[in-house]
């Protein structure tokens, strides 16, 4: 077990956003966090990172809190105009633990090259960041996450700005990390990706939370109850499902 929490209340300065959050995470687990806007996804992320203390309850790290938690946030505050190359961005993942001035050792160098190779950015590694497309930038940030080499990886809406083929590529990387025994927490909106790649799900909404296996947690009834899906949206899916059948529609089976 990497971390466990029971009956957490999360929020800001005494204003609870979500309560009764319980979850468990073991090495190799991929936990999806799903919820409507304002349901407490970002609050949970901050709490897990340790920048926001929980209002009630505590997160337990049975084997100790890892010294690095790899984190890839939403890109709202990312400055793409800073004069660095893609390679430098990946290198930033190796700075933690180096202190102020120590150089990156050969093992770290090898990790950076491997990460560039694995994310498909080795050929464009010398391009300035401001010339990258959204998909290329996200690949670079996945490379940085890979270089961090952390036992726990936290990704906040990693596929929001990227196209489907990039998303598919990056999802294979998530599968690899899970196979390597790292524990992952993903904030995701792509529910079919959750069903295919995640081992557990935490549904947040209307001030409360539900934790379990994706297939039993993210049912249409639960999604409506937790305010993630509107009743009319569910009805639309139901109508589509009846008219054409799941196979020919090619849609997700929810």
Task: Point out which residues bind another protein (CB under 8 A).
Answer: 49, 51, 68-69, 71-85, 88-89, 92, 95-96, 98, 100-101, 128, 130-135, 154, 161-163, 248-250
* Residues 202, 29 contacting (CB under 8 angstroms): no
Separation between Cα atoms, residue 219 and residue 117, nearest integer Å = 38
* Residues 89, 140 contacting (CB under 8 angstroms): yes
Residue 100, CB-side half-sphere exposure with 13 Å CA sphere: 0
Nearer to another protein, 185 or 203 (CB): 185
Residue with the two structure tokens 């929980």:
54
Nearer to another protein, 7 or 53 (CB): 53
Q: How far is the CB of 47 from another protein (least distance, A)?
A: 12
Nearer to another protein, 99 or 106 (CB): 99
- Rounded to 5 degrees, what are φ and ψ at 81? -95, 0
Q: How far is the CB of 226 from another protein (least distance, A)?
A: 26
What three-state secondary structure class fits 202? strand
Nearer to another protein, 96 or 189 (CB): 96
Q: How far is the CB of 210 from another protein (least distance, A)?
A: 26
Q: How far is the CB of 59 from another protein (least distance, A)?
A: 15
Q: How far is the CB of 93 from another protein (least distance, A)?
A: 9
Nearer to another protein, 11 or 135 (CB): 135
Nearer to another protein, 77 or 221 (CB): 77
Enumerate residues 6+ apart whose C-beta is below 8 A from 96: 68, 148
What string of DSSP letters covers 156-198? ESTTTTS-HHHHHHHHHHHHHHHHTT-EEEEE---HHHHHHH-
Nearer to another protein, 55 or 152 (CB): 152
Cα Rg for the chain, rounded, in angstroms?
A: 19
Read off the DSSP letter of residue 39: S
Q: How far is the CB of 46 from another protein (least distance, A)?
A: 9
* Residues 208, 9 contacting (CB under 8 angstroms): no
Q: How far is the CB of 119 from another protein (least distance, A)?
A: 17
- Rounded to 5 degrees, what are φ and ψ at 92? -55, -25
């Amino acid at each position: 077990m990497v971390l466990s929490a029971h009956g957490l209340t999360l929020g800001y300065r005494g204003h609870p956003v979500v309560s009764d959050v319980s979850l468990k995470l073991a090495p190799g687990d991929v936990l999806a966090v799903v919820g409507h806007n304002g349901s407490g996804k970002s609050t949970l992320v901050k709490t897990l990172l340790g920048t926001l203390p929980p209002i009630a309850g505590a997160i337990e790290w049975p084997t100790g809190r890892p010294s690095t938690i790899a984190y890839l946030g939403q890109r709202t505050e990312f400055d793409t105009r800073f004069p660095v190359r893609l390679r430098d961005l990946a290198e930033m993942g190796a700075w933690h633990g180096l202190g102020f001035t120590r150089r990156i050792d050969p093992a770290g160098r090898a990790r950076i090259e491997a990460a560039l190779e694995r994310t498909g950015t080795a050929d464009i590694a010398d391009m300035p960041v401001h010339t990258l497309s959204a998909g290329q930038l996200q690949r670079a940030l996945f490379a940085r996450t890979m270089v961090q080499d952390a036992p726990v990886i936290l990704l906040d809406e990693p596929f929001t700005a990227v196209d489907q083929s990039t998303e598919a590529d990056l999802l294979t990387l998530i599968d690899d990390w899970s196979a390597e025994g790292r524990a992952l927490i993903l904030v995701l909106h792509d529910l079919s990706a959750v069903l295919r790649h995640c081992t557990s799900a935490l549904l947040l909404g209307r001030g409360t939370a539900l934790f379990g296996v994706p297939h039993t947690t993210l049912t249409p009834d639960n999604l409506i109850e937790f305010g993630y899906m509107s009743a009319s949206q569910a009805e639309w899916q139901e109508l589509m499902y009846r008219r054409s059948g799941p196979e020919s529609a090619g849609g997700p089976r929810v």
